[in-house]
């Protein structure tokens, strides 16, 4: 047992209570209406005198030896399904309904695949949203969706990869779009700077979204170089060279600026990948296709196997830095890119990159506020030509990256147009009308390599939009020695527990939170964790082992942690107990002491084997009369 802060932790298995049965994406509405009945652990188990494994053995395992033949090995068969969401339109861009599975064919790496499931998803804006799920007092869940068929849309305003000059107009047009939304749209609003921020969770209230969008501030990205500053540096170096300075000063300045750009892009790649992973974890439990509307001026990465975000005409290539760029900035991040792509595939996220700069008029690109250029007309022409070429190839890089991201996720890229509303509307329309094709890949070797997908339709004159491949990763994320990568788990969990991070639904959980009262000085937290969302490892004794970390943090309105408690479940149970758990839930109990005040209590669970995370936020107010006395 592990505890820190002012709190206590205990874990027990509900042998008798079997009121919590999960079936992810199946009958979820019915399940969330079931009242939480938490098994209360004995007082001595909460005192910290026993280890987690000891408490498990005493509270869970029966005294009689389980009826399991330890000499008989266990065999299990696993069939994995690949899901492909397909948007099919006619020549006028209208969705084509009424197609059957026989109208489609799927090919993976050149080999035909057998379609095992086929479904049509069609949603109209006239449908009224279902009322929100009502839970009993003091009970909360990280899954509150009463109408799972309603599409989910994520709007991401990317400040990290966008200059401040492009943000104001984007914000204005986005607010106007949100005002005109039909009721019942499930939209979440997020912003990316040096970390991902939740501006507004998924809601069907356009007024709430508009008010949240108005709170977005114009921030300057610390990892982008402004065009004016770059031109000023180049012109100043050229003038110094003309006025008797060292020869080659302009070339040296350009080399420095390129190295700075490479460094900044490396940092932006890492931060952008972390944000995309966090969004994928946030919507994991939401069934069906999710649309990510990514509003940005630059796109520093690709998701296809080449990973290369620049074309052969880029200035990095011309200056001999492409080899090091590929080897260092990209190939060392290949695993992060592949993991991000795999997470987005598993969460059925289609990305719609939208260039918020709109139409960019061609020209010399020389800023009118830059210093005057000294020297001959040839020197002026050299700077003008170099600047124009650099700006052109940078736009090519961004547009190619946008197209790649859209192709690899089944979305569509929008650039070269000032009609932001049309781009937003089209992406939401795609999320409301599509087909889902499922097949079991004939290639059973889950080695992490990229596999190409091709979907064909017998009906002519159609356009099919779908993701063009996936990385065939195994579910588990273990180190080479078969043990969880603890430092990675700790970093992911700490990031997920930040108050501005979106809540994650990869592990579904339901909690009961009781504030202090006359007989209890601490906040009492009881968990019911979905066992189907975590990994049980096979052991040599034909038993099952589960390893979970739990954390509770009370955040004040200024984002300061005012109290926290953590616990660990590391339990090995016999098969009959494991089967009982799978029909029920995993229970845990925490207690947390905090001073009087108003807080957001973020609760989280991470599976250390698979690195799947579940978090939720609970409003917590403790009046002076109930605060613990010191």
How far apart, in Å, do the first and last CA atoms of the chain sit?
25
Q: What is the pLDDT of residue 231?
A: 64
pLDDT of 71 over the 60 cut: no
Range from 285-289, 376-380, 415-419 that averages highest in pLDDT: 285-289
Q: 226 is written with which tokens?
A: 């402004």
Alpha-carbon distance 598 to 446, whole Å? 48
What are the chain's domains? 7-71+481-626 (2.60.40.10), 153-429 (3.40.50.410)
Rounded Cα–Cα distance for residues 491 and 154 (Å): 24
**Angle, alpha carbons 26-27-33 (nearest 5°):** 140
Q: Which of 123, 136, 76 is nearest to 528 (CA)?
A: 136
Q: 35-45: per-residue pLDDT in tens? A: 333 333 323 33
Among 255-264, 283-292, 367-376, 566-575, name the one with the lowest average pLDDT. Answer: 367-376
pLDDT band at 604 (very low <50, low <70, confident <90, very high): very high
Q: Give me the pLDDT at residue 68, please.
A: 36
Q: How far apart are CA 354 and CA 369, in angstroms?
A: 29
Buried b (16+ CB within 10 A) or exposed e, 70-104: eeeeeeeeeeeebbbbbbbbeeeeeebeebeeebb
Over 50: is that where the pLDDT of 404 sits? Answer: yes
pLDDT of residue 397: 81
- What is the rounded average pLDDT of the residues 553-576? 93
- Please compute the mean of the pLDDT values over residues 518-545 and round it to a whole number: 93
Token pair of 508, please? 């579904």
Query: Residue range 435-462: average pLDDT?
Result: 93
- Residue 2 is predicted with a pLDDT of 38
Token couple for 619 = 């409003």
Quick one: average pLDDT of 247-264? Answer: 68
Mean pLDDT is lowest, of 257-266, 466-475, 609-618, for 257-266
Contact, 415 vs 170, CB < 8 A?
no
User: According to the model, what pLDDT value does residue 73 have?
Assistant: 45
Assess whether pLDDT exceeds 60 at residue 446.
Answer: yes
| Alpha-carbon gap, residue 122 to 97, rounded angstroms | 8
pLDDT score, position 458: 93
d(CA 586, CA 581): 7
Query: Token match 């001026």: residue?
Result: 297
pLDDT digits (tens, 9 = 90+) for 215-235: 766 666 666 666 666 666 666
Print the SS3 string covering 393-425: HHHHHHHHHHHHHHHHHCCCCECCCCCHHHHHH
DSSP string, 472-516: ---S--B-TTSSB-HHHHHHHHHHHTSTTSPPPBSS-EEEEEE--
Label residue 148 by pLDDT band (50, 70, 90). low
């Amino acid at each position: 047992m592990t505890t820190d802060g002012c709190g206590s932790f205990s874990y027990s298995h509900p042998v008798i209570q079997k009121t919590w049965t999960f079936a992810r994406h199946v009958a979820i509405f019915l399940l969330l209406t079931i009242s939480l009945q938490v098994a209360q652990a004995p007082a001595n188990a909460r005192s910290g005198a026993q280890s987690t494994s000891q408490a498990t053995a005493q509270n869970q395992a029966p005294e009689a030896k389980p009826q399991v033949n330890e000499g008989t090995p266990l065999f299990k068969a696993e069939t994995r399904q690949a899901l492909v969401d397909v948007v099919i339109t006619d020549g006028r861009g209208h969705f084509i309904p009424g197609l059957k599975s026989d109208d489609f064919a799927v090919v993976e790496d050149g080999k035909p695949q057998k379609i095992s499931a086929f479904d049509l998803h069609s949603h109209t804006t006239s449908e009224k949203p279902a009322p929100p799920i009502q839970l009993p007092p003091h009970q909360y869940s990280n899954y509150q969706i009463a109408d799972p068929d309603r599409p989910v849309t994520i709007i991401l305003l990317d400040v990290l990869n966008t200059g401040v000059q492009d943000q104001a107009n984007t914000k204005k047009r986005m607010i106007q779009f949100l005002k005109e939304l039909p009721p019942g749209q499930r939209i979440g609003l997020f912003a990316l700077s040096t970390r991902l921020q939740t501006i507004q969770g998924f809601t069907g209230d356009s007024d709430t979204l508009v008010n949240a969008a108005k709170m977005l501030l114009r921030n300057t990205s610390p990892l982008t170089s402004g065009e004016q500053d770059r031109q000023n540096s180049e012109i100043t170096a050229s003038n110094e060279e003309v006025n008797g300075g060292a020869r080659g000063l302009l070339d040296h300045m350009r080399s420095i600026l390129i190295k700075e750009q490479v460094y900044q892009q490396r940092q932006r790649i890492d931060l952008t990948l972390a944000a995309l992973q966090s969004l994928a974890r946030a919507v994991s439990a939401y069934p069906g296709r999710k649309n990510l509307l990514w509003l940005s001026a630059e796109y520093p990465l690709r998701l296809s196997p080449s990973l290369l975000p620049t074309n052969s005409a880029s200035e990095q290539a011309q200056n001999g830095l492409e080899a090091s760029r590929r080897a260092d900035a990209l190939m060392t991040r290949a695993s992060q890119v592949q993991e991000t792509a795999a997470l987005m595939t598993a969460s059925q996220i289609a990305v719609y990159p939208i260039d918020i700069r709109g139409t960019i008029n061609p020209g010399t690109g020389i800023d009118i506020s830059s210093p005057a250029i000294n020297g001959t007309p040839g020197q002026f022409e050299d700077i003008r030509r170099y600047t124009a070429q650099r700006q052109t190839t940078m736009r090519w890089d961004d547009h190619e990256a946008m197209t790649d991201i859209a192709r690899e996720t089944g979305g569509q890229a929008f650039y070269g147009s000032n009609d932001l509303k049309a781009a937003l509307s089209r992406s939401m329309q795609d999320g409301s009308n599509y087909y889902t094709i499922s097949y079991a890949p004939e290639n059973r070797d889950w080695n992490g390599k990229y596999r190409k997908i091709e979907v064909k339709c017998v009906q002519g004159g159609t356009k099919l939009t779908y993701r063009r491949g996936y990385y065939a990763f195994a579910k588990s994320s273990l180190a080479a020695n078969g043990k969880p990568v603890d430092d990675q788990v700790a970093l992911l969990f700490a990031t997920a527990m930040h108050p501005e991070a979106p809540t994650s639904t990869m592990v579904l959980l339901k909690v009961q939170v009781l504030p202090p009262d006359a007989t209890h000085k601490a906040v009492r937290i009881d968990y019911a964790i979905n066992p189907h969302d975590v990994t049980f490892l096979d052991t040599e004794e034909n038993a099952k082992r589960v390893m979970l970390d739990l954390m509770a943090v009370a955040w004040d309105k200024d984002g300061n942690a005012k109290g926290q408690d953590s616990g660990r479940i590391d339990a090995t149970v016999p098969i009959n107990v494991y089967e009982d758990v799978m029909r029920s839930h995993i229970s845990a109990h925490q207690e947390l002491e905090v001073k009087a005040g108003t807080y957001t209590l973020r609760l989280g669970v991470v599976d250390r084997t698979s690195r799947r995370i579940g978090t939720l936020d609970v409003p917590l107010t403790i009046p002076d009369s109930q605060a613990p006395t010191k």
